[in-house]
A and B are shown apart, each in its own frame.
Chain A
């Protein structure tokens, strides 16, 4: 019951939050610029081409950052404006509070995503882009998956950070490591390892990078699995099999449960001290 209360409250705050409006505008502009880029390619979101790859990458630049900032700021705001001090006087467990926040934030972020992607679809059809239903749904699932995985991380960041500035630092740090510097860091680190260890280590580390994981699954589901080369035949076969999506969903659930659990532990410690 308290989860629902917090979620509803979060939605009310979220849909009024100026941050949400700025990101709503930013994401809408972004979606329309994607269309402009694609109009050069006349390929649409069909199968895995370099055009699709570019679109995936541009989304990977923006969406995780947006999620990390909106998510973590919402939590630090509770600390900064004292509303958590008020809330903690009620019989409200940290975990229900965080789950409520997570659900509320998901709705707000999904609304931003839906607006942007809806705009993308409507303008795309109007402009005569060869969009396919499966293509658009693939892009929606890709974005939603990114959103949920990064939102769980954002809740951890929000629990750790004392204020908005700390949250910004951590958020940008996570974004930088998982999106921008990932290959550079990994190649630097993995090259120090013996050759046979490189592939398993890379595979294991990829499991902890939602950006790479979602990207690889999406590329594979779009039929581009072969680009990852013969080293990953088994991965690709698995992702393409009937169990692929189910595995991804189960993994996503574990990811969210794990990081929400971690956040409530962190939050609970803060509460004890407070």
Chain B
């Protein structure tokens, strides 16, 4: 206790106010207070308030109380046991809010159901948040930033093991290994988060029927990595700029079944959508734009691709060893369609050749020939076995959901400029013609 007091003297604040629902203040003495003993004394349902300041962990919460930090920071004293996380919650129905957890080794560990975590800031080199055998917890407004610069040595931001029905929302994760790692955890909802500069923003393993919605996944190695999963949904996310790494991709589906990938913006990634050994998934209404390769699919079957917009991708799509995929009614911006009956979809089908990819796979310098006029000639010469190609029998004539283009305000200047060009170009011919006629 004396050692403890000594070490606490370094810190400014010594005030801990445990209170009942009536919030009766219990004034501590002007010496360091053992937060753990206050937590131990609190009764279920109590609110324990931590005023601004720095406190020592690690802490354990084992009854359903509300620990409300008002921007209080928990740190680990030098001599404390290294392996326990800074804050452990082993109860059901507790609420933790407004804390900063700052530690080299590990932030929050939860084992219990129906807990709520709000407005926590966690900075660590270890696992920021770990849920194990913990169901129906809510993690909201977390700010997690990793302190380890080396990607290989980093740990995960939020790690969930064998836990179902948890919710992660409105959180920001940056510079961690995987932003959210789900293992054997079903029905997890990951929504309105921003995850960047990490390995995989969302990494799902055997986590069936989980939902990833309205997140912003940017500049990671992979945006959403979904593996051996059934019935998950990835909806309305912005998955952008996963392009800085040799293995970068927007969404990777590996052995995924019955997933829905809908309404996402997949922009500026190395590979937009990577589908591997996946079956029976629905991929619809996504905007797959400006990726180096829009989609790569292999060994996949019975997937549905409908009403997606594929535009500005260096190569739109490549499929090998895949069959029975239903690709229809997508918009391909490189397609010269022909709409005979005016139903908005082309009567000429769209086919994606894997030629350019196999060429640049062999020698990356040939990427300079991208869309070179002569390349189409070579591509036609090398056409063989189009059965393997991706094939859309009814491609759309214009992007789905796009409004008819309005005349831009610069139209006037375009018109004047064009008239000037036309006049300047045509006048000498006209004059020369007149002279000849009159002479």
Contacts and interface: CB of A to CB of B under 8 A. Distances in A.
Contacts of B397: 40
Contacts of A124: 414, 418
A230 B432 CA distance: 52
A132 B378 contact: no
B405 A116 contact: no
Interface stretch (B39-47, B50-58, B330-338): B330-338
A42 B374 contact: no
Interface in B205-225: none
A123 B428 CA distance: 21
Interface of B, helix, strand, loop or mixed by DSSP: helix
Contact of B419 (A51, A118, A128, A195): A118
A239 to B, nearest CB: 13
Contacts of B366: 183, 187, 202
A199 B407 CA distance: 43
Most B-side CB within 10 Å, residue of A12, A128, A130: A130
A85 interface: no
Interface in B367-389: 367-378, 381
Interface stretch (A148-156, A208-216, A249-257): A208-216
B350 to A, nearest CB: 12
Given A11-B428, A125-B418, A202 B368 contact: yes
B425 to A, nearest CB: 3
A29 interface: no
Contacts, number: 192
Nearest to A136: B414
Nearest to B435: A16
A192 interface: no
B428 A111 contact: yes
Contact of B371 (A202, A227, A229, A232): A227
Interface of A, helix, strand, loop or mixed by DSSP: helix
Nearest to A130: B405
B429 A115 contact: yes
B314 interface: yes
Chain A interface residue number, banded: 35 or more
A57 B369 CA distance: 12
A120 interface: yes
Nearest to B405: A130
Nearest to B268: A226
Interface stretch (B104-112, B171-179, B231-239, B357-365): B357-365
A114 B422 contact: yes
Interface string A156-198: 0000000000000000000000011111101100110001001
A53 interface: yes
B417 A202 contact: no
Contacts of A202: 365-366, 368
A45 B408 CA distance: 13
A122 B419 contact: yes
21 contacts: A15-B431, A15-B432, A40-B397, A44-B405, A51-B333, A53-B334, A53-B371, A54-B336, A118-B418, A118-B419, A121-B421, A128-B405, A181-B377, A184-B377, A184-B381, A187-B359, A187-B378, A202-B365, A202-B366, A206-B368, A216-B368
